[in-house]
Amino acid sequence: MSLILVARLLVIAVLAYSGLSKLGSLKVAVAARDLGLSPKIAQWVGQWLALLELLVGGLLFFGPTGYAGAIAATGLFLAFTALVAWNLWQGLRPACACFGEASAQAISNWTLARNAAFIALSVIVLVGGPSESRQSVVGGLSEAISAAGPAPVLALIALAQFATLIGLWSRRNVSAETETATSVSATTAPAARADLGWPPGTLAPGFDLPSLDGSRVTLADLVALDKTLILLFTDPNCRPCQALLPEIAQWQERHEDVLKIVLLSRGSALDNRGKAEEFGIQTVLLQGGAEVAAAYQSEGTPIAIVVDSRRRIASRIAAGAVEIRALVEAWAERSRKDAPVSVLSPPPPPDATRLIVGDPAPPFKLEAVRGGTVDLADFGGRLTVLIFWSPTCGFCRRFAPDLLAWEKAQMDGSTQIVLVAEGTRQANEAEGFASPVLLQVERGVSQAYGVNGTPSAVMVDAESKVASEVAVGRPEIEALLARADLLSRAARRIQA
């Protein structure tokens, strides 16, 4: 059996299988639109492509027309391969319905590789020339059988029967697979679609589409209605979509006050008008292909997405009847819970004691670590920095060596430091401060000065008035001490 005859047989088998699978299929025209053909051309493809493929296969079968059939087959394969390649280059992967009702897979690089093999087979027949194609397939097979003998022929027949049985078995589930391809399965979808579609908060892609009455409707028109917008992507050839139409009509009527449910359907006005009128569906917009669905990252039908009044996507994709029902009811309930027009809130509680610079410093009389009691008035006539301290405070522990060094540097005593300390007498004696250390009880003095933690500091002037805001932490206290030192030295120079 010659290579050219084998190539002819394979091309005939491909075209016959493809043409027979497409006969009566409604998916072909939809797939043609999805691949980017205009609605008119796609409709023509849906009506005549199957017959054309069968015709080309017939031309290849007979000797006088074999070469013409090879030319036509090569043209068909090249045209389809170019269309697939263009879609893949654009980043689009629609279902091609390459083998009609027996195929529901999206195009891929594998589709290109498969078509390249088909092109190669038809080119083999072309390269052989008209003379090699002049013999009919039947005549060629007869010669091959005569030359090979009965054993190989019987093996080929058995192989063909086995392949036929496999094909028949696989076709049993074609309708179920087709429905799964056009409708995302509600039982498997939740796990697969956890992050499918744009995340909520994304600006919804705009569109301008014709409605069934011929008017144009944009996304801006729908958002301006000040209702929660639910976009429902459907297809007139999708059985789950058809089953959901009565419920969609009920939702549109029952939730009209809070929801705007809009169908974005494929197909022509004629394809959609009958069902819309039968069930009383309102607002059906028509996509030329699947361009709007692709912009919303919506694959399959039926699928629903919520868009809020700010034109932001407000939900993940809901696919299948079960999820769409839950989405509609949840957003209807949510939309009916109106937010209050205004809220009256009582004034916040007053701040804890907060002294203002210039206020009289709160007086105190505390027990000193070295014995006796000390009154704030004892420091009158001198600039004083009150440092609020705790020997158990980690920040105080790290600050202690620098504060002790600062004390030693103040040999002239220009600035008076007074530590108002928490804790026991023994713990504070161990600190080794030369400045007075006064023990407060239950942080009463800290509260009076508006101090919330340690270490903190407040400067009190010679007239026993507050001279600074509360300094909190080592850097602020060091800055306050430096400022107090400058003021004290300036006062002494003036007095001198």
CB 321 within 8 A of CB 251: no
DSSP 454-488: SSEEEEE-TTSBB-SPPEESHHHHHHHHHHHHHHH
Q: How far apart are CA 251 and CA 405, in angstroms?
A: 80
pLDDT higher than threshold 90 for residue 97 = no
212-221, 340-349, 457-466, range with the lowest pLDDT: 340-349
pLDDT higher than threshold 70 for residue 24 = no
Of 252, 242, 321, whose CA–CA distance to 274 is shortest?
242
Distances (CA, A) of 145 to 2, 9, 30, 34, 125: 12, 15, 44, 45, 21
Of 18, 8, 72, 75, whose CA–CA distance to 49 is shortest?
18
Compute the average pLDDT of residues 118-136: 77
**Which pLDDT does position 341 carry in this prediction?**
54
Q: Hey, CA dihedral for 97, 101, 103, 104, is it positive or negative? A: positive
Of 46, 66, 53, whose CA–CA distance to 18 is shortest?
53
Element (H, E) at 419: strand 416-421
**Which pLDDT does position 457 carry in this prediction?**
95
**Which pLDDT does position 183 carry in this prediction?**
39
The pair of structure tokens assigned to 183 is 């409708």
Biggest distance spanned by C-alpha atoms of the chain = 136
- Domains, the chain, ranges and CATH? 3-176 (no CATH), 189-336 (3.40.30.10), 365-495 (3.40.30.10)
Q: How far apart are CA 406 and CA 401, in angstroms?
A: 9
- pLDDT over 90 percentage in the chain: 19
**Which pLDDT does position 171 carry in this prediction?**
47
SS3 448: helix
**Which pLDDT does position 173 carry in this prediction?**
45
Say which residue, 117 or 196, is predicted with more confidence: 117
The pair of structure tokens assigned to 426 is 């023994």
Q: How far apart are CA 185 and CA 190, in angstroms?
A: 9
Peptide bond into 302 cis (omega under 30): yes
